[in-house]
Amino acid sequence: MSFSYRAKSSSLRNVKTDIIDARHLCELYYKEDLEPYKKRGIQLLNLRNLSRQHENITGIYVQTKLQFQAVLDQVFPEYRGVFGDLYSVVSLLTLLEFPTSEDILAVGEETVANRINELCPSRSKKWANTQAEKLTAASARNPFQRTLYQSHILSLEMYIKMLLEYQKHLSKFEDEIDALAKEIEEYKIIQSIPGIGEKIAATIISEIGEIERFNHPKKLVAFAGIDPSIFESGKFKGTVNRITKRGSGRLRHALYMAVKCAIRDCRKKKTTDEIIPRNKRLREFYDKKREEGKPFKVAVIACANKLLHWIYALLKSNSPFQDSLV
């Protein structure tokens, strides 16, 4: 069997023997570069690709937002408080049409209100008038009444158009992920665990793949990279052992976010003041670890380990989460 250049270059030494080739095969299997095709469902593989692409685009989108904010602060910083969501479509389109406070004051409040109403016909005329009034007041307060650098205006327009395009792409990815995930039975099973929403559930099942690949929950824990590392040399045995962070970093991050959501307090009903955790059993386990003196991150990782054992049991038994059975 031949190996790709990337696979060969991952080793520090250039050695070619049957033993080294066998070791390469083991390493590639663990890294998922050579996972048996028959063990990967087409749906799970598609879901994994879509989830990873969504994550990549989200990262670029976040960076673009930061760059956009930096330019906006040099042109129209008072614009931030006008719309409830700075990155809503109507907010970005309004700013694209009136990028400076000088543009707003030049056309007048009525013209701005009519334009906002055209950009967002689903909202009332009264709402458009209110937004126009707030925008005019923000323009009067803006410290930069005149923009000296035309390059800032060009950059602002470019970033607005990029943000709008990224929003369209992310929305498309989310629709595809949601439609594909609903066809997978494991998706509903994982979502039955309190604290795990649609996005996290899709990431978890796509990164795990076929649960039959793992014949023990500890192997799944190792795949997520949340198992403790072992450091021994001679008679020395390390006592401070961090997690290995091997395997799927995306699965590890999804578990971390799932735990944070699960142990978070929320109101039982909007009409009452009663506060309960989203996942009572996991919160009890977290509180126990904290009472033992464990730091926050250590307690969260312990919860992630516990959560992954639950997920393994549920997927193996093909049954939803029930407090009395887990």
Give this prediction's pTM. Answer: 0.75
* Average of per-residue pLDDT across 71-83: 93
Does the structure show a pLDDT above 80 at 241? no
- Write the pLDDT tens digit of every residue in 126-153: 999 999 999 999 999 998 888 778 899 9
* Average pLDDT across the chain, whole number: 83
pLDDT at residue 212, as a whole number: 87
> Could you give the CA distance from residue 14 to residue 25 in angstroms, rounded to a whole number?
16
Residue keyed to tokens 């594909």: 180
Residues 205 and 181 sit within 8 Å (Cβ to Cβ): yes
* Amino acid 291: pLDDT: 92
pLDDT for 65? 97
CA 316/CA 212 separation, integer angstroms: 8
> What gap in Å lies between CA 115 and CA 121, rounded to an integer?
10
Count CA atoms closer than 13 A to 285's CA, side-chain side: 19
Q: 64: which 2 tokens?
A: 């673009």
Angle between helices 296-317 and 217-224 (to 10 degrees): 130
> What tens digit of pLDDT does each residue of 11-36 get?
434 445 667 667 766 665 555 554 54
Residue 85 near residue 91, CB atoms below 8 Å: yes
Distance, CA of 202 to CA of 251 (rounded, Å): 10
Tokens of residue 22, six digits: 């066998």
Q: 277 φ, ψ to 5°?
A: -70, 155
pLDDT band (50, 70, 90) for residue 10: very low
The β-bridge partners of 232 are 237
> Which of the listed ranges 3-17, 192-206, 218-232 does the model predict with the highest average pLDDT?
192-206
pLDDT over 90 at 64, yes or no: yes
Q: What is the pLDDT of residue 61?
A: 97
> Domain map of the chain by residue range?
55-178, 190-231+242-326
Q: Write out the two tokens for 191.
A: 């979502």
Give the residue among 120, 129, 111 at the shortest CA–CA distance from 93: 120
Query: Residues 99, 75: contact at Cβ < 8 Å?
Result: yes
